[in-house]
Amino acid sequence: MQNVFVKPNGAVKVPDPATHKPLAAGGEWKPKNQYWVRRITQGDVIDGTEAQLAAQAPAAAPAAPGKSPGPSPMPERASK
C-alpha cells in the first residue's frame, strides 16, 4: 500500500482513525486508503506529496521587464 503525506488544511482538526489523535499541524505520513483520500477530496487535509512535487518543479523563467513576449520585429528593408 502506498503512503501519502497529509497536512491539516487550516484550523480543521482531523482525527486519525487508528489512534483517534488529531493530525499533527506539520503533517504526517499516512496510508493512502479510502479515509485519507476522502479527507483530501473534501479539502480537510492537503496532499503534501503533490505540494512537495510542485515546489520542486522548475519555475518558468519570468519575462524581461519592459519586453512583451510577442514576435520579433521585422528587419527594415534597404531603400533603393
Residue 30 C-beta-side C-alpha neighbours within 13 Å: 29
**Domain spans of the chain?**
3-46
| C-alpha cell of residue 38 | 476522502
Tell me which residue of 25, 21, 19 sits closest to 7, measured CA to CA. Answer: 25
b/e map 20-44, b = 16+ CB within 10 Å: eeebeeebbebebeeebeebbeeeb
Per-residue pLDDT of the chain (80 residues; tens, 9 = 90+): 799 999 999 878 999 999 999 999 999 999 999 999 999 999 999 998 766 656 655 655 555 565 556 566 666 676 66
